[in-house]
Amino acid sequence: MIIILTNNNDNLRADGRVFNELRPLKIEAGVLEKADGSAYLEIGGNKILAAVYGPRELHVRRIMRPDMAVIRCRYNMAPFSVGERKRPGPDRRSVEISKITADALRPAIFLEKFPRSTIDVFIEILEAEGGTRCAGITAASVALADAGIPMKDLVASCAAGKANGNVILDLSEDEDKEGEADLPIAIMPRSGEISLLQMDGHMTPDEFDKAVDLAIEGCKQISEAQKNAIKDRYGEENG
């Protein structure tokens, strides 16, 4: 019997991926000397650094919690991270992403172990190619683990969405800009808890369900890469 395997190129995306395929992913833990924890991440054309300081004593009374640590995040795009030079400094988008990043990471951390303290997370987008908020959360989570901060799980994040009428995983910049919808998600894979879910654009309820399932599968793959990054730095027994 002769079996002919055909590759139906019609189903491939502009960058050659199938609908449920992540872009090439690389994560390295402990890349900076001076921060307490750090990570470098590439996914597709995104290049991202995350650094963590803390837990350390917090002197700002207005935000200090007597019973637990607070987590503060700053997401920043470098001026050279996008085609059109980005004006340096915070803008509405970076303030929003900083907030949702802290919200996505907070449930994973045993904050009650560090009363009156702060954990500071810095995410620097060196190059952006779509999906930076998710990639930033993924990198920050590895940096938190690298800083030795006790966590229930590593938060993993990626988006699914819709472009050219198809529900797809991990949108590129072009798919994000030209597509119909973008659905970033972050999960704690051990419990399955979702700590971030945003949506931009339009999908039917069926497409939404499909996109959520795809994004969760993507997060599970990303979670393996996160664990490998920690294992590579600290060895199997501590990974």
Binding mask 61-90 for ligand UDP (x = CB under 6 A): ---------------------x---x----
Contact of 196 with 108, CB cutoff 8 Å: no
Q: Are 12 and 164 in contact (CB under 8 A)?
A: no
Terminal Cα distance for the chain, rounded: 47
DSSP string, 99-155: HHHHHHHGGGB-GGGSTTEEEEEEEEEEE--S-HHHHHHHHHHHHHHHTT--BSS--
Phi then psi dihedrals of residue 111, to 5 deg: -65, -30
**Which stretch in 66-74, 127-135, 138-146, 208-216 sits in contact with ligand UDP by CB under 6 A?**
127-135
**Least distance from C-beta 131 to ligand UDP, angstroms?**
5
Pick the closer one to ligand UDP by CB: 50 or 111: 50
- Using the minimum distance from each CB to ligand UDP, give the nearer residue, 30 or 131: 131
Closest approach, Cβ 220 to ligand UDP, in A, equals 20
Q: How far is the CB of 86 from ligand UDP (least distance, A)?
A: 5
Residues that bind ligand UDP (CB under 6 A): 82, 86, 93, 128-133, 173, 176, 182
